Chains A and B, each alone.
Chain A
Amino acid sequence: MSTPAAAPAPAPVAPLAAADTADAPIRLSGVRVAFGDRVVLDHLDLVVPRGKNVVIMGLSGTGKSVTLKAVAGLQKVNAGEIVVAGVHVENARRAALTSVRSKLGFLFQSGALIRWMTALENVALPLVENGVPRAEADARARKRLDEVGLGDSANKRPDEMSGGMAKRVGFCRATIANPAILLYDEPTTGLDPITKRTIDDLIVHGRDKFGATGVIVSHDLRGAMRTGDLIALLYEGRIAVVLPPREFIKCDHPIVREFVRDDGGAAGGK
């Protein structure tokens, strides 16, 4: 299932063929987000085709997390449209938002685990609260935790976990219900290379097995090559580049060049 790092081979995809975009589950256009005077996103456009993973890369503090939160309806936007699973989330009513969110999994950059619940309870929560019997939810949660190497930490609480553990538990919680749309905010940051790869594989697996559509915020170019069907660069408030991985690493944008150079060319490139 895993591919050697030197030869990442997600099938190249034509960036935005019309057929892909027609029923795209996530579509942002002209999005603007400002905090006071500070404009973070401006005229941001992005289309995520069905069943594809789009990786968003970019410098720290450019608004990647803000973008993901806007897609989930957690961040108010000052202008623009965000359509997720056919619903305009930027001005959606509660009921519409609920229906969108039932199709959504979200991994927070911080993990955002409920602090008084164990890892197992956290992962089982989306199932339990939506009517899955406790025993079944626990069994599924336990299996998921096993897959990310946390089988023996199921009874730890968030304050007993390392950052990487919390992140993996957050990953399990986001994916446990096999949602159609997955938003991952830095799923592999702070993990060792082996665990990173496991998570990347699970992301790819989710796409291939369940046809999930994903947006992955990442600083890890190699991981992006493995998991992304498209890689987007967020720069100065908008998406400056969207290309399939192999073309992305060859593009001329100075920030992309820096990323590739920093990666030591291991991901390929010019």
Chain B
Amino acid sequence: MSAPVTPERSPLGVFADSIEQTGYMIELIFGAFSRLFTHRHPIRLFRRLVEQLYVHAVKSLLVVTVVGTFTGMVLALQTGAELKNLGVEDQLSKIVAASLSREMGPFITGIILAATAGAAIAAELGTMKVSEEIDALELMNVDPIAFLVSPRIVSMGLSCLILTVWVNFVGIIGAAVVAHSQTGTLYSDFFYGARETLSADRIFGVLSKALFSGLVKAWCFGVIIGGLSCASGLNASGGALGVGRAVRTAVTASVVLTLIVGYILTWFFWA
């Protein structure tokens, strides 16, 4: 089966779309969070938020678990061999814990969410846009940002945060299994090393800098992906093809912006 052909946009055109969505995204993100405080029916907003959390977090859980576990395993396999050559394989747990919690965890979770929940949001809102449902909401004086965007962006931020913690967790377990089978590292030693890394250098006396910076990243990624997906969905036009274009723009822009923002945050925390 061949994929449906969308009227071709040059790579430059897709890039231009992405920049445009980024501006709108910032507007939507501010709108979404301000609605949290000005919403007339906080309980209703909360209920929509929980629904979205279920859709975004629970439904992505399986794929996130699989990818997270394997990332930890690959990391241990690659790094473990090198460390063994240097005779410092007992450092493996620290390296795995640090790179997962600082970089890999949030990044992987972000990319997966962009491809699953983000694409779904863009498709859903895009479909609503082209079938005039968004117009209908506006005519009923139902604010689409409070009604649709706010729960999605907030829940994407939370989902990315929660799933990142989970990815770190399963990644470290995966790495421990590999370390055990490759170099015979004891599970208890491995987890002890990982825990040490993740509790060193505490910020506000609660979280280690590695965990804290990773979670800040994760939250930012989730919010950005949610915002971009909502933005391209709400800007969709031109029927089903337009919805396809919106999804593509959302995912492209999300991946690119996740990388850029990830770099900026790493610089901010560690440089």
Q: Which residues on A are within 8 Å of B, measured CB to CB?
A: 69, 72, 74, 98, 101-102, 104, 106, 108, 110, 112-115, 125-126, 129-131, 173
Find out whether the CB atom of A113 lies under 8 angstroms from the CB atom of B138.
Answer: no
A115 surroundings in chain B (CB, below 8 A): 127-128, 131, 133
A sample of 30 inter-chain contacts (CB < 8 A) reads: A69-B135, A72-B139, A74-B138, A74-B139, A98-B141, A101-B138, A101-B140, A102-B141, A104-B139, A106-B136, A108-B135, A108-B136, A112-B132, A112-B135, A113-B136, A114-B128, A114-B133, A114-B136, A114-B137, A115-B128, A115-B131, A115-B133, A126-B140, A126-B142, A129-B140, A129-B147, A130-B141, A131-B40, A173-B136, A173-B140
Task: Report the minimal beta-carbon distance from B250 to chain A, rounded to whole angstroms.
Answer: 19
| Chain B interface mostly | helix
A72 surroundings in chain B (CB, below 8 A): 139
Other contacts beyond A98-B141, A129-B141, A173-B140: 11, CB < 8 A: A69-B135, A74-B138, A110-B131, A110-B132, A112-B132, A112-B135, A114-B133, A114-B137, A115-B131, A126-B140, A126-B142
CA separation between A214 and B141, bound complex, in Å?
A: 19
Find out whether the CB atom of B131 lies under 8 angstroms from the CB atom of A129.
Answer: no
Task: Report the minimal beta-carbon distance from B236 to chain A, rounded to whole angstroms.
Answer: 15
Find out whether the CB atom of B139 lies under 8 angstroms from the CB atom of A113.
Answer: no
Among the interface residues A74, A104, A129, A173, which one has the most CB atoms of the partner chain B within 10 A?
A129
Cβ-closest 6 pairs across A and B: A112-B132, A112-B136, A126-B140, A129-B142, A106-B139, A74-B135
Task: Report the minimal beta-carbon distance from B25 to chain A, rounded to whole angstroms.
Answer: 20
Task: Report the minimal beta-carbon distance from B190 to chain A, rounded to whole angstroms.
Answer: 46
* CB-nearest residue of chain B to A74: B135
B contact residues, total (Cβ < 8 Å):
15
CA separation between A98 and B140, bound complex, in Å?
A: 9
Task: Report the minimal beta-carbon distance from A161 to chain B, rounded to whole angstroms.
Answer: 14
Task: Report the minimal beta-carbon distance from B103 to chain A, rounded to whole angstroms.
Answer: 37
How would residues 129 to 162 of chain B score, 1 for a CB under 8 Å from any chain A CB and 0 otherwise? 0011101111111100001000000000000000
CA separation between A113 and B132, bound complex, in Å?
A: 9
CA separation between A129 and B135, bound complex, in Å?
A: 15
A125 surroundings in chain B (CB, below 8 A): 140, 142
Find out whether the CB atom of B141 lies under 8 angstroms from the CB atom of A113.
Answer: no
A130 surroundings in chain B (CB, below 8 A): 140-141
CA separation between A72 and B136, bound complex, in Å?
A: 10
Task: Report the minimal beta-carbon distance from B121 to chain A, rounded to whole angstroms.
Answer: 13
* Residue from B40, B128, B133, B141 within 8 A of A101 (CB atoms): B141
B140 surroundings in chain A (CB, below 8 A): 101, 125-126, 129-130, 173
CA separation between A131 and B40, bound complex, in Å?
A: 9
B127 surroundings in chain A (CB, below 8 A): 115
* CB-nearest residue of chain A to B136: A112
Task: Report the minimal beta-carbon distance from A227 to chain B, rounded to whole angstroms.
Answer: 21
B128 surroundings in chain A (CB, below 8 A): 114-115
CA separation between A244 and B153, bound complex, in Å?
A: 52
